[in-house]
Structure 1
């Protein structure tokens, strides 16, 4: 083997070991839940992303963010140590599947429709005669399925809203926060969408694989606790208050 080959192999080995040594402490999957967290132009952004970034800084942990469809992301987290997802609604059906850190925020599940249709929804029973779209394995979807609803699934919240506007579904279950942010993101007239019925309330958390080391979870929990104590969590939330304005 000549000197060039030996040199080339040495470079490859060095690159491999450097990459291994620099592997992130955590792999984080983002749900599409604006303005809390989503990928925009291949970058994570949102209130929960800002909270998570500060938590990582204070806990001196590194993380790699990934953008997967929500059902696939949650499935991957369940089988992979040091993998987490956020923001995840903490509901009874998920309780034993993850380690939980939070809450980071609280949202109210709300059914939205097109204002021009002047729909009247006074109960979940009223909604059963309509076509409803949602994210597969989303907290709202799981809740509605438990109540006997059959849903039309999408991979992103943008897709859900576009389907609503195109008439492919009649109702879109989201939160007042996410609905306004998605309307803004798609450059749509917010007056086209109307909040019709609040059907659920969910606390949002970081959900981690059950085998993620206790020391890692303790560092994150301590960081979040310090952020509550010095009002950093409140300050980050306040920065997003303008976007959190509910749809009328």
Structure 2
């Protein structure tokens, strides 16, 4: 009886503290993307599972990444997923994660290119197409590369690779194959050359969100790690992604 009462009190306490959250994300398959008019993907399944465990109600909204980051930096009960955690962003949000590690790499769009072993090679062997809004673009600028071909979207980047105006593209190892297929390019046309960045991917809550609520989400994620739920979601969405 005491155990039953204890469980009942725990359930009541969870629901008493539950709230409504606005969760923002962009399109980045297989992490989050539209399928038959519905948002699906690894990150979507993770946040839904976390909401189920915390008892929170979540409203998912597709928003361009920069706008989502701005909204999640200033609005209460708001978060954006999945986001790379960087030193510049660290103090602007409350973080839940990591959900997974993400490697961003350089890919060759031309099989006749010599292997790229360093950024010195990358700087002299051809143009590198990369979306301007991506962290990788700023990172490569900071490394002194002046052969960057800034584009608006990853789709435009892969389209340039397919048509020939660029020798290299930049993408994370999880999404490169999907990006290629969606633009009519065989994934093996894009050859892995070298790693550029490796960072954790997180859920970024606004500083105006109740810190106790954010802590509950982190606790729920830790539980998903322990009981294997997070691993099963990774297996569902990420098992067929090949880093190289």
Structure 1 outlier segments of 4+, above 6 Å: none
1:48 aligned to 2:39?
A: no
1:33-54 superposed Cα distances (whole Å, 9 cap, x missing partner): 3222233454222112111110
Query: Number of paired residues?
Result: 224
Q: CA deviation at 1:95?
A: 1.2
1:37-90 superposed Cα distances (whole Å, 9 cap, x missing partner): 233454222112111110111111122222222222212221222221111111
Q: CA deviation at 1:172?
A: 1.4
Alpha-carbon distance in structure 1 between the residues aligned to 2:161 and 2:171:
12
Across the aligned residues of Structure 1 and Structure 2, the Cα RMSD in angstroms comes to 2.2
Distance 1:72 1:132, change over 3 A: farther
Q: Which residue of 1 aligns with 2:136?
A: 140
Which stretches in structure 1 are left out of the alignment for 5+ residues?
A: 1-23
Which stretches in structure 2 are left out of the alignment for 5+ residues?
A: 1-18
Alignment of 1:114-193 (within 5 A): 114-129=109-124, 130-149=126-145, 151-193=148-190
Alpha-carbon distance in structure 1 between the residues aligned to 2:81 and 2:129:
21
Alpha-carbon distance in structure 2 between the residues aligned to 1:133 and 1:127:
12
Distance 1:86 1:155, change over 3 A: farther
Q: Which residue of 2 aligns with 1:222?
A: 219
Matching residue within 80, 90, 94 for 2:89: 94
TM-score by length of 2: 0.82
Matching residue within 61, 79, 85 for 1:84: 79
TM-score by length of 1: 0.80
